[in-house]
Amino acid sequence: MTVCSHRMENPLRRSACLEHGPSLLCVAYTSGMQFNRLMFWLFYRFGTPPWEGHPLPERLRELIEGPSALPPGKALDVGCGTGDTSIYLARRAWDVTAFDFMNVALKRARAKAGAAAVSIRTMQADVTRLTPSEVGVGFQLIVDNGLLHGLSDAGRDAYVRLVSAIAAPNATLLLAGFAEKKRRGPRGYDRPEVERRFAAGWELLGHRKDPAISSRPDDPVYVYELRRR
C-alpha cells in the first residue's frame, strides 16, 4: 500500500485522497507520521486542544519587548496552530510566515489574524517535507511552540536541516517543548539531545523551565534559545 503524501485534511475520510490506496484509515494506523496527523486533526476538529491559549514563552516576550529586544525582521512560526504567536509577533512589526500541517488550525489562525487586523503569511506544510524554496530563507527569528518535541528521530533530522537552511546568520531559534518522558502525547527532548542535534550550525545560548506554558505542574515545558552561527 502506498502512503499518501498529499496534504489531506481529514485522515479518516477515504475521499480525501482516492489516488493512494484503498484505506487511509489503515495507513493512519500503520504509519507513525499519519497517526500523528490523525491525532492533531482529532484535537482540532472536536473541540479546543489542550495547548490552545497557553501563555507565550516568557523568553519570547523578553526577546520581543525586553530592554535588549531584537529588531523586527522576518519571523517564522513553525507549527503555528491557531496563530497566537504569529499574531503577537505581527502586532510588534515582525514580518511573519506561519505554517502548520493542519488546515483546520490555519483557518482559525487566519480568522484570528483578520480579527486582530494583522497580516501573516500562512502555509499548509509538513515540516519534515518542506523545502527552503517553498517557505523562504533569511528568517531572523524562528519560533517553535510544541512541534519538534512530537517528531520522530527522522522527523527531527529533517527539521534541523530545514531550520538550518532557512535561518539568517545570527538568527534566533526558540524551541518550547516537554522534557523526554513516557507520557500520552509527545515524546519530548532534553538538553543533551538539543545540543547534539544542533551542534553543527547553532550555539545553544540557554534553556529554562517555563512552567506557565504547561497545564500540568508535573510536566513543565522547557524553552531553548539557540543562535545560528
Measured CA distances, 174 to 92, 153, 200 (Å): 17, 19, 17
Count of positions (residues) in the chain = 229
CB nearer to ligand SAM: pick between 55 and 201:
55
> What separation, in Å, do the N-terminal and C-terminal C-alpha atoms of the chain show?
43
CB of 127 to ligand SAM, least distance (A): 4
CB nearer to ligand SAM: pick between 18 and 154:
154
CB of 56 to ligand SAM, least distance (A): 8
CB nearer to ligand SAM: pick between 100 and 225:
100
CB of 30 to ligand SAM, least distance (A): 17
Task: Tell me 71's DSSP state.
Answer: P
Residues of this chain that bind ligand SAM (CB under 6 A): 40, 51, 79-81, 84-85, 100-102, 105, 126-128, 145-147, 150
CB of 157 to ligand SAM, least distance (A): 13
Q: Are 221 and 176 in contact (CB under 8 A)?
A: yes
CB nearer to ligand SAM: pick between 147 and 194:
147
CB nearer to ligand SAM: pick between 31 and 128:
128
Ranges assigned E (strand) in the chain: 74-78, 95-100, 121-124, 139-145, 167-178, 202-209, 221-228
CB of 35 to ligand SAM, least distance (A): 11
CB of 105 to ligand SAM, least distance (A): 5
* Per-residue cell: 39: 491525532
Across the beta sheet with 139-145, the strand order is: 121-124, 95-100, 74-78, 139-145, 167-178, 221-228, 202-209
CA-CA-CA-CA dihedral for 8, 14, 20, 21, to nearest 10: 150
CB nearer to ligand SAM: pick between 152 and 170:
152
